[in-house]
Amino acid sequence: MTTTADVSPVRIEAAQCRTAFGDADATCAALVAGERALQPRPVLGSQGGDPVPLALAPGRSLDETAPPNWISVVKALAAEIPPAAWGSARYPVFVTSSNFGVGSLYAFQRTQVTEHLQYGTPFATVEFLRQQLGWGTNVAVLSHACVSAHLGLMCATRALQAGFADRALVFSFDFLSPFVTGGFHALKILNAGFPAPYAARETGSIGLGDGAAFAVLGRATGSAPGGAFTIAAQSLHNEMHHFTANRADGAGFSACLAPLVTAAAGRRLWVKGHGTGTIEAGRLEAETLASLFPKAPLVSWKGSLGHTLGSCGLVELAIVLAALRAGRAPGTVGATAPFFADTVAAESFSTAGFDSVLLTSNAFGGAHAACLLRHG
Amino acid sequence: MVERYLQAIHCEQPGLEEPAATRERLRDAFPKGATRRMTQLGLLLGSVLNKLSPGEDDTLVYASVYAESRALEEYLVSFPSASPTLFQTSIHPSAVQQAMIARQQPVRHFFPHTGRAQLVAHAVQSALLAFTPRSILCGGEERGTWLRERGAASDSSFAFALALSSDSTGALAKLSLAPTDRDEGELTLGEFFAALTERRPLNQSAAPGLWLTLNWQ
């Protein structure tokens, strides 16, 4: 069995995100202040339904428009991407999302306005993005629910290491629509309750949020300069046990995370976990992390931002970088003790004394992804 | 340049076969009771994947433009009482997950791709850059209904699965990808599938920067 992580390091040249709070610095500051972006909103937007915790980008409605109302958020984010011939032969783009523009198909089904169909399929959404952002056609598209962004990072890393790219842009986005809020509500994990990641309580609940982010990756050369951020190792595992449940013994979490123990040996790290607010997955994740990385404080920010789905890995990476620049990591907003593990950090803490961060995401099908970020 | 040898290939090309007929035809390929909630694409992909016995140490790469068209259509019309089963089934990469969950077969590396004109190039790139001894490249579509009439679902059903390794012994073909400075290129999933079923060679720019070659032995 392959039990090693991908250990080809890549340098993060730039990263940025958009959440309900704004960019990475604004989001980090709001999280450190303990603010919660999630607000109760009707699950089907203007069509009503139960109030559920959602965190939409400023000024955005859950109801889809044509063209999609999220494009202004994406364009503002993309304006911060360092210039390059993105989408050309040597500068590939890796776009990742769980839902792309599927909210437009929901809008079409509800309104029969055919203009929505222009944005409904993954390729149509990416083509719209590509034209709006001026990219060439060298755009790889990956979709694996809530680990999508991590796959983009890994594929970009491999393309760089194999000499297929000089630099790579990973771009990830997921904007909420009744398609996805209705689905999670039907699964009963999006309900009236607010998420409390890793809290040992009886009923689980998640919140959902808009998210978009990018990272520009380049080959790591020699020793990293001071202040540089490097993805030192990456790991994946897919349980394929059940669509929406993990193996009860936590084997899937261990299979993904154990290979990173070696890569993290001797490092002083904290963990940005997945932590959506569900009970069983939260317990398995917290217990496994505490077992493998017993000295590493664990935080999740989905109790404030909601789960930004396929974009969460990259959105939270950009927030981690903002936290490292600011010198303070946000705590697990929205959750209070008792926790599933004593490593869970409810409050913000100084990042001084740490030199690495472990970032994890999970998804449907028992998919697990993690990467080790090295800095300083 | 990166390359691997094609050691096995399995294809499904059911034409206009309806999902119920596909389920009946392929039911013996799956554990008892497993097919009840599987989509047509899940059945087709599962059928070709099962023949390769995917294991935990394989790298699994999946390519589909539209993926679960029927489940997506049915989920959309289930509103305002959204169906939880159709929701999870409609999400990419459900078809492969259906097949692998039926087998209770974990896999470490799984790269589900989508897209259109450059989809094949990038999926092949993921398969050829795999660190594992064997990579399995699979793909497919299922024919939609009302979304197909609107250009938002596939107009055909098919599936394929290729076993790729660095061992040339007994290989059926060699699949390679080389960097190129060309800033154009495309190869659709349908064109790639046709080349596979007709044992036709390929030698072309399949995406900007990616020159794809398929040589049959």
DSSP A63-79: S--SS-TTHHHHHHHHT
CA B2, B6, B10, B11 torsion-angle sign: positive
Most A CBs within 10 Å, among B36, B97, B119, B205, to test the A interface:
B97
| pLDDT band at residue A62 under the 50/70/90 scheme | very high
Looking at beta carbons, which residues of chain B come within 8 Å of A178? 79
Q: What percent of chain A has pLDDT over 90?
A: 94
What is the number of alpha carbons within 13 Å of residue A185 lying toward its C-beta? Answer: 25
| Interface touch A186/B84, C-beta < 8 Å | yes
* Cβ contact B22:B45 at 8 Å: no
Looking at beta carbons, which residues of chain A come within 8 Å of B80? 44, 47, 49, 182
Host H or E run for residue A288? helix A279-292
Nearest CB partner across the interface for B152, out of A121, A158, A188: A121
Looking at beta carbons, which residues of chain B come within 8 Å of A141? 113-115, 119, 122
Four-point Cα dihedral B6, B111, A5, A232, nearest 10? 120
CA B36, B37, B41, B43 torsion-angle sign: negative
Read off the pLDDT of residues B65-75 as tens digits, 9 standing for 90 and up. 999 999 999 99
- Nearest Cα of chain B lies from the Cα of A127 at a distance, in angstroms, of 9
| Interface touch B209/A114, C-beta < 8 Å | no
* Cβ contact A112:B81 at 8 Å: no
Mean pLDDT of A244-248: 93
- Nearest Cα of chain B lies from the Cα of A339 at a distance, in angstroms, of 29
Distance, in Å, from the CA atom of A351 to the CA atom of A111, rounded to the nearest integer, reads: 50
Q: Mean pLDDT in chain A?
A: 96
pLDDT at B196 over 90: yes
What is the number of alpha carbons within 13 Å of residue A332 lying toward its C-beta? Answer: 31
Mean pLDDT of A291-295: 97
pLDDT at A225 over 80: no
- Nearest Cα of chain A lies from the Cα of B120 at a distance, in angstroms, of 10
Mean pLDDT of B87-91: 94
Those residues whose C-beta lies under 8 Å from the C-beta of residue A305, and which sit 6 or more positions away, are A19, A20, A21, A27, A31, A37, A38, A55, A207, A209, A211, A315
Minimum Cα–Cα distance from B184: chain A residue:
A137
Mean pLDDT of A172-199: 97
Read off the pLDDT of residues A195-207 as tens digits, 9 standing for 90 and up. 999 999 999 999 9
CA A183, A188, A193, A195 torsion-angle sign: negative
Distance, in Å, from the CA atom of A203 to the CA atom of A221, rounded to the nearest integer, reads: 48
* Cβ contact A170:A156 at 8 Å: yes
Distance, in Å, from the CA atom of A171 to the CA atom of A215, rounded to the nearest integer, reads: 7
| Interface touch B131/A6, C-beta < 8 Å | yes
Give the position of tokens 């428009």. Answer: A65
Q: Does B115 touch chain A (CB under 8 A)?
A: yes
pLDDT at B192 over 80: yes
Looking at beta carbons, which residues of chain A come within 8 Å of B108? 1-2, 236-238, 255
Token readout for B84 is 């939880």
Give the position of tokens 């589900």. Answer: B112
Helix axes A102-111, A178-186, angle to 10 degrees: 90
Length of chain B: 217
Ramachandran angles phi, psi of B12, nearest 5°:
-130, 130
Minimum Cα–Cα distance from B76: chain A residue:
A106
- Interface A-B: count of C-beta contacts within 8 A: 187
Looking at beta carbons, which residues of chain B come within 8 Å of A244? 88
| pLDDT band at residue A221 under the 50/70/90 scheme | confident
Token readout for B34 is 């497993």
Nearest CB partner across the interface for B122, out of A140, A143, A182: A140
pLDDT at B180 over 90: yes
Distance, in Å, from the CA atom of B174 to the CA atom of A140, rounded to the nearest integer, reads: 23
Host H or E run for residue A302? helix A302-305
Residue type, A134: G
Distance, in Å, from the CA atom of A304 to the CA atom of A209, rounded to the nearest integer, reads: 9
pLDDT at B119 over 80: yes
| Interface touch B106/A92, C-beta < 8 Å | no
Q: Does B101 touch chain A (CB under 8 A)?
A: yes
Cβ neighbourhood burial of A46 (10 Å; 0-12, 13-18, 19+): exposed
Distance, in Å, from the CA atom of A319 to the CA atom of A348, rounded to the nearest integer, reads: 13
What is the number of alpha carbons within 13 Å of residue A316 lying toward its C-beta? Answer: 38
| pLDDT band at residue A6 under the 50/70/90 scheme | confident
Host H or E run for residue B213? strand B210-216
pLDDT at B165 over 80: yes
ipTM of model over 0.95:
yes
Read off the pLDDT of residues A71-80 as tens digits, 9 standing for 90 and up. 999 999 999 9
Q: Does B93 touch chain A (CB under 8 A)?
A: yes
Q: Does B103 touch chain A (CB under 8 A)?
A: yes
Among candidates B111, B99, B209, which has minimal Cα distance to A148?
A: B111
- Nearest Cα of chain B lies from the Cα of A99 at a distance, in angstroms, of 8
3-state helix, strand, coil in chain B (%, to 5): 35, 30, 35
pLDDT at A21 over 60: yes
pTM above 0.95, yes or no: yes
pLDDT at A261 over 50: yes
Those residues whose C-beta lies under 8 Å from the C-beta of residue B188, and which sit 6 or more positions away, are B65, B116, B117, B119, B120
Nearest CB partner across the interface for B118, out of A120, A139, A164: A139
Q: Does B92 touch chain A (CB under 8 A)?
A: yes
Four-point Cα dihedral B30, B34, B36, B38, nearest 10? -80
| Interface touch B111/A89, C-beta < 8 Å | no
Read off the pLDDT of residues B1-29 as tens digits, 9 standing for 90 and up. 999 999 999 999 999 999 999 999 999 99
Q: What pLDDT sits at residue A1?
A: 44
- Nearest Cα of chain B lies from the Cα of A234 at a distance, in angstroms, of 11
Minimum Cα–Cα distance from B55: chain A residue:
A1
CA B174, B96, B130, A87 torsion-angle sign: positive
Distance, in Å, from the CA atom of A144 to the CA atom of A353, rounded to the nearest integer, reads: 35
Residue type, B35: T
Q: Does B188 touch chain A (CB under 8 A)?
A: no
Mean pLDDT of A121-150: 97
CB atoms near residue A224 (< 10 Å): 16
Alpha helices in chain B (DSSP H): 19-26, 40-50, 69-77, 84-90, 94-103, 119-128, 146-149, 189-197
Q: Which of residues 25-64 of B touch A (CB under 8 A)?
A: 56-57
pLDDT at A3 over 80: no
pLDDT at A2 over 50: no
- Nearest Cα of chain B lies from the Cα of A331 at a distance, in angstroms, of 31
Nearest CB partner across the interface for A120, out of B100, B152, B208: B152
Q: What percent of chain A has pLDDT over 70?
A: 98
Q: What percent of chain B has pLDDT over 90?
A: 98
